[in-house]
Amino acid sequence: MTVALVALALLLLLTVALPTLRRLWAFVWFAIKHHFIWLLALRLPPAQRPDRARVLRRMCEDLGPTFIKFGQIVASSSGIFPDRYVREFQKCLDHVRPFAFADVQRILIEELGAERARGLVLEEKPLASASIAQVHGARLPDGTSVVVKVQRPGLAGRIAADMKIMRLVASLLERFTRDAELVNPVGIVDDFAATLGEELDFRLEAKNQDRWNEVMAAQGYSDARAPIPRHELTTPRVLVMERFSGVRIDDVAKVHASGVDAEERLIHGLRAWFQAVVFHGFFHGDVHAGNLMLLDDGALGFLDFGIVGRFDDRQRRLVTDYIVAFATADYAGLARVIVEMGGVREGLDQAAFAKDLAGAYSPLLKLSFAELNYADLIPELHRVSTRHRMKMPREFVLITKQMLYFDRYAKLLAPKLNIFTDPRIVMSLAADVAKIRAAEG
């Protein structure tokens, strides 16, 4: 009995002293809590029961930003996850449970000082609330309308603890689960940790917004812009910026009611995004529906530059070659690019690899997005990667993620469009590639 009490006391002391252990206990607690909520709900009449997807989404919200990020992946992966989960987890994009307005005011004073914080006249109800921060409308002393992005309290320590737990789980998966190394779970966690680390410093996000606007201006896109930040009012935890007026790109009814040609706008936005990749090696790396707006003047507004992609010259060339080979159904070329990216083992049967890539990817070039069934496509891609021991290169994963976002918008706004075969996109792509090759000599 004495030994048991000592062990319990030691466990309590360690739990208090070690943030990672506290987070582990929190995960166990919330998992048990929401499991019991679900069991109790089964006693209710079917019409009153909360959907399982709703219970899981609330558990992710309780666990905090790391798990809300997972929810955002689900929300933007139509066809991979069941529709009811996709719809429910779309609340993780910008309708996460808000934190108290008193905390917002406290953080503003801590970051900006009392005098400058008082100069911001904030709307108490948030415009949006997401995993890392929430956004409030405000007015500057001169009456200018802005938005204020305020980071959630206590994030840094919680995320650091979550990353330790996730890294441990990833290591165990890679060691003991068959073919797990092909997914590279440890690498995914490390990339995730690095990305979250950048997202926690809003000064970097403000610089990314400036860079995006510079890139768009260089490419002649005055109508694909990021909010202009107020650097004098921006700190690691507070970002004050221009306020956009418009509708989310996935609000189909309002987009069509605006009178704008939705398909043309979608193609225009994709071209702007792609040219940022191939000409500048810089692009928005998280174009989910909460981060893309159709503005009142018909322009496209890109929001939330916490996640961006940066490619060096070699990576830009490889990504360009990848997309060109894919768009032209050159599967032998596609196989060569993946090999050069380092995604497959040595001694690969490249002809067989190219043939399997053709079987997996050709539906993307033959069908409209409305006709595609990702529930069939994704497992086939997994079978190809397993058969040839292929790891998905990070460059490919980041680019593909954005293409899946654009896919979702195409299904909503222009279901007959196929962005890989549409002549307006293909001809633009060919011209861009020609310019790049000419510049390379």
DSSP per-residue string spanning 294-330: EETTS-EEE---SSEEE--HHHHHHHHHHHHHHHTT-
pTM score: 0.76
Q: Which two tokens stand for residue 411?
A: 């299904």
As given in the structure block, the two tokens for residue 230 are 């107020």
Task: Identify the CA nearest to 138 among candidates 169, 117, 156, 155.
Answer: 117
Write down the domain spans for the chain: 14-91, 155-199, 245-441
Contact 114, 96 (CB under 8 A): no
Give the closest residue to 246 by CA, choosing from 224, 278, 279, 263.
Answer: 224
The pLDDT of 111-140, averaged and rounded, is: 92
Pick from 208, 207, 238: which is nearest to 116 by CA? 238
Question: How many whole angstroms separate alpha carbon 48 and alpha carbon 380?
Answer: 38
The label of the residue with tokens 């914080």 reads: 117
CB 131 within 8 A of CB 92: yes
**pLDDT tier for residue 327 given thresholds of 50, 70 and 90:** confident
Report whether 191 contacts 310 (CB < 8 A).
Answer: no
Is position 349 annotated as part of the catalytic site?
A: no
Cα–Cα distance, 180 to 329 (Å, whole number) = 29
Mean pLDDT lowest among 175-179, 321-325, 425-429? 175-179
Catalytic residue among 94, 162, 250, 286: 286
CA distance 329 to 64: 42
Is the pLDDT higher at 231 or at 92? 231
Confidence check: pLDDT of 11 > 70? no
Q: Which of 89-103, 150-164, 299-313, 394-408 has the lowest mean pLDDT?
A: 394-408
Overall size of the chain counted in residues: 441
* Integer Cα distance of 256 and 258 in angstroms: 5
pLDDT exceeds cutoff 90 at 427: no
DSSP string across 351-391: HHHHHHHHHHHHHHHHS-TTT--HHHHHHHHHHHHHHTT--
Yes or no: say if 325 and 353 are a contact pair by the CB < 8 Å rule. no
Q: Beta-carbon neighbour count of residue 269 at 10 Å?
A: 23
DSSP string for 392-427: --HHHHHHHHHHHHHHHHHHHH-TT--TTT-HHHHH
Gap between the Cα atoms of 41 and 50, Å rounded? 7
Backbone phi, then psi, for 137, in 5-degree steps? -70, 150
Largest interatomic CA distance in the chain: 79
The encoded tokens of residue 26 equal: 């929190």
Q: Which of 275-279, 349-353, 401-405 has the lowest mean pLDDT?
A: 401-405
Question: Which residues are bridge partners to 284 per DSSP?
Answer: 308
Choose among 433, 416, 422, 393: nearest CA to 274.
433
Rg for the chain, CA atoms, rounded: 23
Residue 376 corresponds to which tokens in the numbers above? 């069939």
- 352-385 pLDDT, tens digit per residue, is 988 988 888 787 777 655 566 655 666 677 778 7
Q: Which two tokens stand for residue 287?
A: 């174009």
Tell me which of 339 and 230 has the higher pLDDT.
Answer: 230
Query: Which are the contacts of 78, defined by CB distance < 8 A and separation ≥ 6?
Result: 86, 374, 408, 411
Span 146-171, pLDDT tens digits: 999 999 998 877 777 777 877 777 77
Q: Is 356 exposed, middle or buried, given 0-12, 13-18 or 19+ CB atoms closer than 10 A?
A: buried
pLDDT digits (tens, 9 = 90+) for 56-74: 888 878 877 777 777 776 7
Provide the pLDDT for residue 235: 96
C-beta of residue 266 within 8 angstroms of C-beta of residue 406: yes
> Could you tell me which residues are beta bridge partners of residue 149?
135, 239
| Average confidence score pLDDT of the chain | 79
Question: For the ranges 124-128, 190-194, 206-210, which has the lowest average pLDDT?
Answer: 190-194
Contact (Cβ atoms closer than 8 angstroms) between residue 75 and residue 286? no
Spell out the residues 6+ positions from residue 196 whose beta carbon is closer than 8 angstroms to its own. Answer: 65, 66, 69, 132, 159, 163
First to last CA, the chain: 79
- Phi, psi angles (nearest 5°) of residue 94: -155, 20
